[in-house]
């Protein structure tokens, strides 16, 4: 039986699997003591592996031709929308589920080398994090989006503090405080939207918003602005991202890798709600806040690029790379055109995989640096490998005989780490031939040719478009300079260090993450067709609204036993009703 046939038999109930599977796995883990760490690790890996298979099946299901199969609606409790809980699967949510599953599987396998034993309840918290992420991608109403956000954040608080230590506790408290503030804004915005429209179902909101009276239009925009602020905090927009780099830089490596998804949840929510509620069909509210999204994204990109140039801490580089990716996606989302949205949907999983891999590489380099006998360390104010007179430092880029490093054999572990770091550099900076370049090239193509090849004669992209193009290219070059400088310092001028130790369980997740980036290049045409279809659906909100609001509950199954006699439509005239009063009140 093929995967597609099995999926067809299990749908639409298969939509529940990404939520129920991690929830049940976490509940089962909580019944086990901490001495069963190996058992919990195997359960965690098995759950993530099954989740990956389910996500692949949902991607194939959502990518079928025809409206009836490209979007699936599941009415939990069999109540029709907008009154019941609705789960919705389309190409965007399926893509996010697949990206989450790949990163989660790699992170949990990597944690098996040492990090999962650094504290208690790592595995249940990890599974609850998966549950919150999957629910946020699948839910069709704002109330349950808030519920899944809180599940996701509550698990992330514990994961960030996993391993303890002063830095994790200090920055973890900042992380908790800023996310509690964001959750409060979320509640305020949702309450105002409900007060204006009387619904929290996303499809119903999109249906009602064009007809909101002009007297309430300002209040509606205020509510949307408050709600967007909560999502932008999670998406790490400048200047609301001051908490991210210290917090993510303090987390353990597998937690940092899974946190690479957290900013993408904010991006996903903004793209989903903005294209649905403030599309070109939203009347006076059409494209509300688009210029703010673009300007906020550009400011975030510049902040991240300048910061990544200025930092010498390897642990912070991955955090700034995550912010740079988030800024690029925010700015691209603000343009609100199909081709640009398709490009950002291609770039989003690519950059997420690369940033997650960079968190893992950072951990391996830090261990290589600190456990080696030489213990070579660099302070922030120190030049990476040159003295103040611009002369080579002793023992850094020369060998012990003061000879230049030419023709030296490179150990396999060092070669693997160096190659992995180089691939991350190419993806994050957007250089060919990897997926980062294709994603950024598609964005530039959409800017220069917004109506498609051969159809944009005379179309001007405006000063915001030119500004985005300049910032996109310049920030990519700045990220390239910063990462190349770090690569030279860590891999080229590290003569005094020994050979790094690398386990298979650590190298395999790295290979899978970066291999996925390569697969996105070799199967670039198929991936771009998928993202283009997803973008077309996003910019046609009528399809989403009809699919959700016109889905009818399933009729109750008949309970008539087999072989039972048919009940006549009317009783015979000679048979009096049992509860009919007797004439005259006399007894028989």
Tell me the pLDDT tens digit for each residue of 147-156: 999 999 999 9
How large is the average pLDDT for residues 339-365?
A: 93
- Domain membership of residue 13 (yes or no) is yes
Question: Which stretch of 5-14, 67-76, 100-109, 247-256 has the lowest confidence by average pLDDT?
Answer: 67-76
Q: How far apart are CA 35 and CA 47, in angstroms?
A: 20
The 10s digit of each residue's pLDDT in 411-461 is 788 889 999 999 999 999 999 889 999 999 999 988 887 666 555 555 566
Mean pLDDT, range 349-371, rounded to an integer: 89
Q: Does 554 fall in a domain?
A: no
Q: pLDDT, tens digit, for every residue of 489-541?
A: 888 776 666 777 788 888 999 999 999 999 999 999 999 999 999 999 999 89
Output the pLDDT for position 287: 87
Is 200 domain-assigned? yes
Lowest-confidence segment of 126-135, 186-195, 196-205, 457-466 by average pLDDT: 457-466
> Is residue 297 packed enough to be buried (19+ CB in 10 Å), middle (13-18) or exposed (0-12)?
buried
Using the predicted structure, report yes or no on whether residue 2 has a pLDDT greater than 80.
no
The total of structural domains in the chain comes to 1
Is 297 a domain residue? yes
Look at residue 562 and tell me if it is in a domain.
Answer: no
Q: What is the pLDDT, as a whole number, of residue 311?
A: 87
**Mean predicted lDDT score pLDDT of the chain:** 84
Whether 243 shows a pLDDT value over 70: the answer reads yes
Is the predicted pLDDT of residue 282 greater than 90, yes or no? no
Tokens linked to 541: 């909100």
Question: Does residue 584 surpass a pLDDT of 50?
Answer: no
Query: What is the torsional sign of CA 173, 175, 178, 181?
Result: negative
**Which domain range does residue 66 map to?**
3-372+410-453+460-549
The tens digit of pLDDT for each residue in 306-315 reads 999 988 888 8
Task: Quickly state the pLDDT bin for 381 (edges 50, 70, 90).
Answer: very low
Binned at pLDDT 50, 70 and 90, residue 305 comes out as very high
Domain-embedded: residue 185: yes
The answer, yes or no, to whether residue 163 has pLDDT greater than 60, is yes
Under the banding of pLDDT at 50, 70 and 90, the label for residue 403 is low
DSSP 74: E
Q: Is the pLDDT of residue 257 over 70?
A: yes
Residue 221 has a pLDDT of 94
How far apart CA 506 and CA 84 sit, in angstroms, is 44
Quick check: is 561 in a domain?
Answer: no
In a domain, 21, yes or no: yes
Alpha helices (H) in 242-373, listed in sequence order: 244-250, 253-259, 262-277, 290-310, 314-334, 338-371
Model pTM? 0.86
d(CA 487, CA 462) in angstroms, rounded, equals 38
The answer on pLDDT for 572 being more than 50 is no
Tell me the mean pLDDT in the region 217-224: 93
What confidence score (pLDDT) does residue 420 get?
Answer: 93
Lowest mean pLDDT among 67-76, 223-232, 422-431: 67-76
């Amino acid at each position: 039986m093929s995967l597609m046939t099995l999926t067809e038999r299990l749908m639409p109930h298969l939509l529940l699997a990404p939520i129920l599977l991690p929830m049940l796995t976490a509940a089962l883990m909580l019944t086990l003591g901490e001495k069963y760490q190996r058992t919990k690790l195997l359960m965690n890996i098995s759950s993530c592996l099954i989740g990956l298979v389910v996500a692949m099946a949902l991607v194939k299901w959502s990518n079928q031709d025809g409206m009836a199969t490209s979007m699936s609606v599941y009415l939990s409790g069999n109540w029709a929308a907008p009154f019941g809980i609705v789960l919705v699967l389309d190409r965007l949510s399926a893509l996010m589920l697949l990206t989450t599953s790949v990163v989660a599987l790699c992170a949990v396998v990597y944690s098996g080398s040492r990090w999962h034993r650094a504290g208690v309840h790592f595995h249940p918290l990890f599974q609850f994090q998966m549950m919150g992420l999957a629910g946020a991608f699948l839910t069709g109403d704002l109330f349950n989006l808030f519920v899944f956000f809180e599940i996701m954040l509550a698990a992330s608080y514990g994961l960030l503090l996993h391993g303890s230590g002063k830095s994790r506790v200090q920055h973890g408290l900042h992380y908790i405080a800023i996310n509690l503030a964001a959750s409060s804004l979320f509640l305020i915005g949702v309450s105002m939207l409900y007060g204006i429209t009387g619904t929290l179902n996303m499809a119903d909101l999109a249906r009602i918003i064009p007809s909101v009276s002009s007297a309430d239009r300002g209040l509606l925009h205020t509510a949307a602005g408050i709600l967007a602020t909560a999502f932008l905090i999670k998406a790490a927009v400048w200047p609301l991202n001051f908490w991210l780099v210290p917090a993510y830089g303090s987390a353990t490596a597998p937690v940092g890798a899974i946190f690479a998804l957290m900013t993408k949840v904010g991006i996903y929510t903004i793209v989903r709600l903005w294209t649905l509620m403030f599309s070109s069909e939203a009347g006076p509210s059409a494209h509300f806040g688009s210029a703010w999204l673009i300007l906020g994204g550009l400011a975030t990109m510049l902040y991240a690029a300048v910061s990544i140039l200025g930092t010498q801490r390897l642990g912070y580089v991955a955090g700034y790379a995550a912010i740079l990716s988030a800024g690029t996606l925010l700015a691209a989302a603000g343009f609100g055109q199909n081709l640009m949205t398709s490009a950002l949907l291609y770039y989003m999983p690519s950059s997420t995989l690369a940033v997650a891999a960079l968190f893992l590489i950072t951990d391996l380099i830090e261990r290589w640096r600190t456990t080696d006998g030489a213990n070579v360390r660099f302070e922030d104010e120190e030049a990476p490998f040159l003295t103040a007179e611009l002369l080579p430092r002793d023992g850094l880029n020369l060998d012990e005989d003061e000879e230049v490093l030419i023709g030296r054999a490179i150990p396999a572990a060092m070669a693997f780490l160096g190659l992995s770091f180089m691939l991350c550099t190419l993806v994050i900076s957007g250089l060919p031939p990897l997926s980062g370049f294709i994603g950024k090239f598609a964005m530039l193509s959409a800017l220069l040719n917004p109506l498609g090849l051969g159809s944009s004669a005379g179309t001007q992209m405006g000063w915001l478009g030119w500004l985005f193009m300049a910032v996109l290219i310049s920030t990519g070059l700045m990220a390239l300079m910063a990462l190349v400088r770090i690569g030279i310092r860590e891999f080229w001028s590290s003569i005094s260090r020994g050979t790094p130790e690398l386990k298979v369980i650590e190298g395999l997740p790295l290979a899978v993450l970066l291999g996925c980036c390569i697969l996105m290049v070799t199967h670039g045409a198929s991936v771009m067709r998928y993202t283009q279809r997803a973008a077309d659906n996003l910019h046609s909100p009528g399809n989403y609204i009809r699919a959700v609001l016109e889905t009818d509950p399933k009729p109750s199954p008949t309970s008539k036993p087999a072989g039972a006699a048919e009940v006549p439509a009317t009783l015979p005239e000679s048979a009096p009703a049992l509860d009919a009063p007797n004439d005259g009140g006399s007894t028989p």
